[in-house]
């Protein structure tokens, strides 16, 4: 999630509308499509879909700018059910769910206090303090058809008050973002899971460090990673990039291009259950055409009431052209 949206989960909206819509590009690049409009992508801010391995259940983050909660929806006969609050969420501001590749556990960020009692934790990042806007990573384990109570991940990961955007790979190692100790801007880190413990996290060198790297979505085998980046200060919008793993190093980031990225922020990258479909959030709305026919007016009003109001919605696009 971009910094403005993360901070304003507790007080405000997330950005301005974009002029991107479903279309075909000259280079035959696939266009992003809106995910479950009116059901999952609706009038609130909807982000960060985390699918079970069979693709039949999705957990995602829904916010109205005042509070944030993790929702769950199930797929039946090609139709997603009306989302409900996940059983472990609702009391605190919970965001950015991530599913382990085998579906055995689930990690999310939350402003809940360490012991589960008291007040929400504050956050410090990008040179600012955000009362109640902090985050640590918490884990729930699959038990039958349900989940255990949330448990906070150890201090080796939650060393500060601004740990967000988990992504889990095979074997249990975890990627996430937290502020760099020198610049205060977000960077992506990896913590190796070994012998039942998380080792101290190591920062990834993805860009030249004049950019802020956020929201990792990592292939289970760690062969590639998609993330958002922009120059600190918010003057340029966040754009989605992909890197590939070569041995112990990552390749130079490759921008996913205008067929995916538009003029506003493109955030919260996630991989679908096939690991070849990219899901991400953006505040996309269709462009306005003038003069408008009565049919267009009715269509546009329906879209405004359903999803096209400038809030964050979930879009998806196949990654085939980048994974050949």
Residues of the chain above pLDDT 70, percent: 88
Q: Provide CB contacts within 8 A for 25, sequence distance 6+.
A: 31, 258, 259
pLDDT, position 236: 64
Q: Is 29 inside any structural domain?
A: no
116-120, 127-131, 165-169, 263-267: which range is least confident on average?
263-267
pLDDT of 34 above 90: yes
pLDDT of 177 above 70: yes
- Judge whether 86 and 60 are in contact, CB under 8 Å: no
pLDDT of 5 above 70: no
Kindly list the distances between the CA atom of residue 245 and the CA atoms of 134, 151, 186, 252, 253, in Å, as whole numbers in the listed order: 31, 31, 21, 10, 11
Q: Is 27 inside any structural domain?
A: no
- Judge whether 253 and 244 are in contact, CB under 8 Å: no
Beta-carbon neighbour count of residue 1 at 10 Å?
31
pLDDT of 12 above 50: no
Confidence of residue 254 (pLDDT cuts 50, 70, 90): very high
pLDDT, position 294: 92
Question: What tokens appear for 19 in the block?
Answer: 């002029």
- Judge whether 48 and 69 are in contact, CB under 8 Å: no
Domain count, the chain: 1
* Tokens 């405004």, residue located: 304
Q: Provide CB contacts within 8 A for 127, sequence distance 6+.
A: 184
The domain spanning residue 197 has which CATH number? 2.120.10
Angle CA(128)–CA(212)–CA(269) in degrees, nearest 5? 110
pLDDT, position 175: 98
Mean pLDDT of 62-85: 95
Radius of gyration, CA atoms only, the chain: 19
Q: What does DSSP say about strands 254-255 and 146-147: parallel, antiparallel, or unpaired?
A: unpaired
Mean pLDDT of 26-45: 84
Q: Is 308 inside any structural domain?
A: yes
More confident residue, 158 or 182: 158
Peptide bond into 291 cis (omega under 30): yes
pLDDT of 2 above 50: no
Q: Give per-residue pLDDT as tens, 121-142.
A: 999 888 889 999 999 999 999 9
**Nearest residue to 240 via CA among 319, 307, 300, 309:** 319
pLDDT of 232 above 70: no
Q: Which domain holds residue 293?
A: 3-21+38-322
- Judge whether 56 and 73 are in contact, CB under 8 Å: no
Q: Is 277 inside any structural domain?
A: yes
Q: Is 26 inside any structural domain?
A: no
pLDDT, position 25: 33
pLDDT, position 230: 80
Q: Is 31 inside any structural domain?
A: no
Q: Is 42 inside any structural domain?
A: yes
Q: Is 282 inside any structural domain?
A: yes
């Amino acid at each position: 999630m971009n910094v403005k949206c993360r901070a304003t989960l507790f007080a405000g909206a997330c950005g301005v509308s974009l002029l991107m819509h479903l279309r075909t590009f000259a280079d035959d690049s696939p266009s992003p499509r809106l995910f479950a409009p009116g059901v999952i992508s609706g009038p609130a801010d909807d982000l960060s879909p985390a699918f079970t391995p069979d693709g039949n259940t999705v957990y995602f983050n829904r916010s109205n700018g005042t509070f944030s909660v993790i929702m769950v929806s199930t797929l039946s006969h090609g139709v997603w059910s009306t989302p409900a609050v996940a059983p472990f969420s609702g009391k605190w501001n919970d965001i950015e769910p991530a599913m382990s590749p085998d579906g055995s556990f689930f990690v999310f960020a939350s402003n809940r206090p360490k012991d589960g009692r008291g007040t929400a934790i504050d956050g410090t990042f990008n040179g600012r303090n955000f009362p109640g806007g902090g985050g640590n990573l918490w884990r729930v384990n699959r038990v039958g058809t349900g989940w255990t109570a949330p448990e906070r991940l150890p201090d080796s990961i939650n060393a500060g008050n601004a740990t967000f955007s988990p992504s889990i790979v095979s074997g249990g190692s975890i990627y996430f973002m937290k502020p760099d100790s020198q610049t205060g801007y977000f960077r992506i880190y990896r913590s190796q899971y070994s012998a039942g413990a998380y080792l101290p996290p190591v920062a990834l060198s993805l860009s030249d460090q004049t950019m802020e790297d956020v929201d990792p979505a990592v292939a289970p085998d760690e062969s590639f990673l998609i993330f958002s980046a922009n120059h600190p200060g918010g003057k340029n919008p966040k754009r989605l990039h992909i890197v590939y793993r070569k041995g112990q190093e990552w390749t130079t980031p490759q921008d996913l291009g205008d067929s995916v990225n538009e003029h506003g922020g493109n955030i919260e990258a996630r991989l679908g259950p096939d690991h070849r479909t990219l899901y991400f959030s953006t505040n996309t709305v269709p462009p306005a055409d003038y003069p408008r026919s009565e049919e267009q007016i009715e269509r546009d009003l329906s879209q405004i009431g359903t999803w096209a109001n400038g809030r964050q919605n979930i879009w998806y696009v196949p990654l085939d052209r980048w994974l050949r």
